[in-house]
Structure 1
Amino acid sequence: MKYLLLKSGLALLLCFLTTNSIAQKTDAFNESNIYEGIEFSMPKVKTTNFLDYEVSISDFGAVKGGVIKNTDAFTKAINFVASKGGGKVIVPRGIWLTGPITLKSNINLHLEEGSLIVFSKDFDDYKIIKTSYEGLNAYRCISPINANGVENVGITGNGIIDGGGDAWRPINRNQITSAHWEKLVSQGGVLSEDGKTWLPSEKAKKGFEKKINYTTTTTINDSELNSIKDFLRPVMVSIVNSKRVLLDGPTFQNSPAWNLHPLMCEDVIIRNCKIRNTYYSQNGDGLDLESCNNALVYNNTFDVGDDAICIKSGKDKDGRDRGIPTKNVIVKNNVVYRGHGGFVIGSEMSGGINNVHVSNCTFIGTDIGLRFKSTRGRGGIVENIYISNIDMIQIAADAISFNMYYFSKRPAFYDSGTYETNNQEEPLVAITEETPSFRNIFMKNIMVCESGIAAFFMGLPEMNLKNVSLENSVFQTKKGITTIDSEGLALSNVKIIASDDYALTLYNTKKVKTNDLMFNESKSAIRILGSKSVDIQFNKRDFPNANDILISKKVEKNSVKIK
């Protein structure tokens, strides 16, 4: 018999005690133990190795103070050290204003304690290039820090890098307070035609109102591109097609779009960094690891305006044509505060994602904790994802979310919660190369307190979410677990303390097995809905009272077994 008759205070105590039972994760990881407990075989990530040679940007005419641009000094220092075979380019204490910085092979851009690199807010400093933006081949302004085709490159030290993103980003009126909005408008910029969005300039507004992505297939000449240049905001740190990349120590903040974006890179290490953006920063992701192979992400802190730690591999046809999955990734001992998602896969995953280990992370006040998202049109396969020892508190929405209708219309009854009572049939869609697939995802030791929804698993009717397991976990939330269009769900030793809803709702879900499932005795337990719900097995010890399980008339009686 597995009941939890818990009042809120006792529920919180249980959550706290269970969380602390795995709290060894407070110890920082390092190169000697980062590979412990990994469920798949992968080569050790190759590390950077820089020559014992260094110069200061001051030696090349850099002037601190934040008034004089030091673009030439950075360029000269990097070129000089590169000509000597590599080494450190030192950024001393002080405020250093600059335009874009292009890194070269064997360069370690090292920020000393108290140093602050501030990127220019003069858009003329940033030329338009062909690059990748949000998974598509696109025109964008060059990134403040950029590198392409380099090897053995690093950004290290305890300084701060500010991307000047507040000069680039649009701001929606509903994202900030009335007082903030009035101050923003009074300081300049322009408003969109509907008056709901602030933009930095008329050029930015022109690009915004066209509502297109400005991909490289867009028919547009140089003059037209320049007329909307201010709209083409870049990611802050763009490292493309490179090997042995190290980001270790700095604070990265105030990015025009995404903050850190390694793209098509091998052997990437991101550790001991602080990644920050304002809570209202449009597309203000923390880290977007895209089409990368062999990566370590550990001992970092994120507080951002969009998703925090993101794994991606390109979008739609561009991503499928690129055909480079992200694989062999270890994510350990990171803390996420604000963010749309703590750890995220998608939605740009068209090249595939596999062999990802995530453990010993803490999410505090994040909108969604573990977030998986895609939509029809993406294609790609996400598989072999292993997640463990995750603590979450005050998650606004879903602690765990699988959404295969991201930014697309999903059946109305999914949103209303009425499910089958609307008598609507799910659309039948053919499976093609554009159909995304998520499968073989394993989660354990997930501890959630004071949060909104325990979990929401939603696949597609034509491509169910497959083989997801959840074990040894506690959810102290307002609502329980819902699964839709899923197959092969396994729940073992899962405690669902849902104050306002069913502990578990299954809709058109197949091949479900539970063992040691615990829930509030005073609340409704389980409901099974949808004519496609079949092969569902519960442990008899968990349900001595048959009334704990509500089975819809649309579900065949022999589809649910208690034994």
Structure 2
Amino acid sequence: MKLSLKHLALTGALVLAHFFKAAAQDGTVPDMNYYLTHAPFKMPALTEPHFNGKTYNIQDYGAVSNGEYLNTEAIRKAITACSAAGGGTVHIPPGLWLTGPIVLQSNVNLHADRGALIIFSPDHAIYPILADNKVQRLISGNNLENVGLTGEGIYDGSGDTWRPLKKSKAAPALWNDLTKSGGVVSTDGSMYWPTKEGLEGEAYVKGLKGKPNLKPDDYLPARDFLRPNLVVISNSKNVLIDGPTFKNSPMFALNPNNCNNLIIRNVTINNEYYAQNGDGIDLSACKNAVIYHCTVNAGDDGICMKSSTNKNANADEAGLQNVVIADCIVYHAHGGFVIGSNTDGGMNNVYVTNCNYVNTDIGIRVKSNRGRGGLVHNIYIDNVFMHDILNEAILFSTYYEDNGTNQNKVVPVTNLTPKFQDFYISHVYCNNAKTAISITGLPEMPVNHINLSDVVISAQQPIVATEASEIVLKNVKIISPEKTLMKLDNSQNITADNIQYSNETTTLVAATGTKTSNIKISNSNAKKLSKPVQLGTGVDKSTVHIL
């Protein structure tokens, strides 16, 4: 169906207005439990951890709030005393608190008041290399039960003393300021590092490969290159992160790993747009989790799902499953909602709803490649509102960080082949993207069974699909100046019902690739277009059916 740009914009606005009116008709904003009970799959009930009533103020253990005194030991003593007494709350009152790494313990809630600013020391020597040959995380906990990070305090990771900067990502003024302030620049002039050790660390680590009997201290010369994440809680259950701001992280800001019964809410992530590997919230192989009412600015992925193989897990069970993400805003990131790139542990049952992505590089981003893949399915995304997306509003890519040498070549399917299927994307609205929808599968494993309904996107480029199958577009509106609406290459079983487009459109489908077949278009008025179908060499004339 052919519509003017003005009509499409108006229609989208009316739909949005209707949604917000319905959501607010009882005068309340849905709470976390509303989203859990309305998930499109059976979501287990999440239980908030409860802590004993006693409070342990870090000042009672020697902490000093002057921004100069190192409070690492005072905070450690307070946490240890709290845990030894059966748990409770460790209290960080308003003030400027300098510290080294903080290690959480079971049954302890670390609560930082509004007005508390916790600065992690820029002295890298106080962050040891651990048994996994990684730098001690700034806040960490492993094998814990019943643990919390709460309050409206701010945790600053002093990441600017750790992170490199790509010249291509930096404004000229920023690049000039940093290079004049100290640090070193790579020989090709493309990368700045705060320290010489950081610049040389990658080559040093590569030189260790294959050497026997390596110990953590063998990696110390590369500490600045390895860089710690700000918060990593691993192999734990009953975890609550409620209220804090995490900023200026050396790498990922918030990275729960293999956690069960996890609640993240009212959290703010503030990493600079140029923060290399500065992801916001990354869930790695977590189960039964909610991310609710969070705001993210990130230098890399905004809210990201990752899953790698856990040797102790049931091989038939997805590494990441039963996750709800609701009422979140991502202002700047490489992707608003992201899956991958490591998906080899599998993902099942993820629900994203009522989120905003503004000025992100990509809106909804699903990525992996051969060697990192696994089965990712039963992903539900609805009521997502986006504006000024630099590249794709919706992207599926199975060639992430691929140098292109094996593209278009069929290779054997393994347990590490990316398998993206059974996605349900509805009521998604985007104003101003470079590309509306891009789907790129593998010759041996197409992206398949992707269902898009009630979607409105304005973009320079409309729809592109390569190696895709079983794609359903229903009530999809694309506002674009391009003459061709859908470019389909080696794609099969594509159905478009009531797809709507701009006055500039002259061709509904351009089909290429000998594998392209069974394209069905209905309720589109396509026959009124000057050239509704264009077929490439080798594409059968019966490939596209206009009903």
- With normalisation by structure 2, the TM-score equals 0.94
1: distance between equivalents of 2:2 and 2:59?
A: 68
Aligned partners of 1:440 and 1:540: how far apart in 2?
24
Shift of 1:224: 3.9
- Take 2:537 and 2:172, find their aligned partners in 1: how far apart are those partners? 50
Which moves more between the two structures, 431-440 or 147-156?
431-440
Could you say what the CA RMSD is over the residues aligned between the two structures, in angstroms? 2.4
Q: Which residue of 1 aligns with 2:3?
A: 4
Question: Which stretch has the larger CA shift, 317-326 or 66-75?
Answer: 317-326
Partner of 1:16: 13
State the match for 2:526 in structure 1: 543
Aligned counterpart, 2:489: 507
CA shift, 1:534, in A, is 0.8
- Asked if 1 retains the 8 angstrom alpha-carbon contact of 2:253 and 2:269, the reply is yes
- Taking a change above 3 Å as real, the CA distance of residues 185 and 554 of structure 1, as seen in their structure-2 partners, is same
- Report the more deviating stretch, 64-73 or 12-21: 12-21
CA distances 1:185-219 after superposition (whole Å, capped 9, x unpaired): 22221222323211122221221345749889997
Check the 8 A contact 1:130/1:216 in 2, yes or no: no
Alignment match of 1:282 (pick from 276, 284, 302): 276
- Worse-superposed segment, 220-229 or 370-379: 220-229
* Structure 1 residues 283 and 556: alpha-carbon distance in aligned structure 2, compared to 1, 3 A threshold: same
Q: CA deviation at 1:561?
A: 1.6
Distance 2:135 2:503 in 1: 58
Alignment match, 2:151: 157
Report the equivalent of 2:267.
273
Unaligned stretches of 5+ in structure 2?
none
Aligned ranges 1:125-524 → 2 under 5 Å: 125-131=126-132, 139-210=133-204, 212=206, 220-222=214-216, 224-314=218-308, 325-410=319-404, 426-524=408-506
Distance 1:522 1:467, change over 3 A: same
Q: Is the 2:8–2:477 contact (alpha carbons within 8 Å) kept by the matching residues of 1?
A: no
- Match of 1:358, SS state, is strand
2:44 — aligned with what?
A: 43
How far, CA to CA, are the matches of 1:460 and 1:218 in structure 2? Answer: 38
Structure 2 SS opposite 1:262: coil
1:210-252 CA deviation, whole Å, 9 max, x = no partner?
Answer: 5749889997555541221221101110100000111101111
Paired residue type of 1:105: S
String of CA shifts for 1:93-128, please: whole Å, max 9, x gaps.
Answer: 011000000000011111111111110111111110
C-alpha contact (below 8 Å) 2:354/2:382 kept by paired residues:
yes
SS of residue matched to 2:220: helix
Q: Compute the displacement of 1:182 (Å).
A: 2.1
Q: 2:511 aligns with which of 507, 528, 538?
A: 528
Q: Is the 8 A contact 1:316 1:378 kept in 2?
A: no
Partner SS, residue 219 of structure 2: helix
Cα pair 2:286 2:321 within 8 Å, conserved: yes
Rate the CA distance shift 1:513–1:271 in 2: closer, same or farther, 3 A: same
- Partner SS for 1:520: coil
Looking at structure 2, the residues matched to 272 and 285 of structure 1 have their Cα atoms a distance apart, in angstroms, of 17
Matched, 1:562 2:546: yes
- How far does residue 398 in structure 1 lie from its aligned partner after superposition? 0.2
Gaps of 5+ in 1: 132-138, 415-425
Deviation at 1:130, TM superposition (A): 3.3
Paired AA for residue 256 in structure 1: P
Per-residue deviation, 1:12: 3.7
Distance 1:252 1:86, change over 3 A: same
Deviation of 1:175 after TM superposition, in Å, equals 1.8
Identity of aligned residues (%): 37
| 1:147 to 1:398, Cα distance in 2 relative to 1, 3 A | same
Query: For the structure 1 residues 226 and 275, does the alpha-carbon distance in structure 2 shift closer, same or farther, using more than 3 Å as the test?
Result: same
| Equivalenced residues, count | 541
Is residue 108 of structure 2 the alignment partner of residue 107 of structure 1?
yes
Which TM-score applies when normalising by structure 1? Answer: 0.91
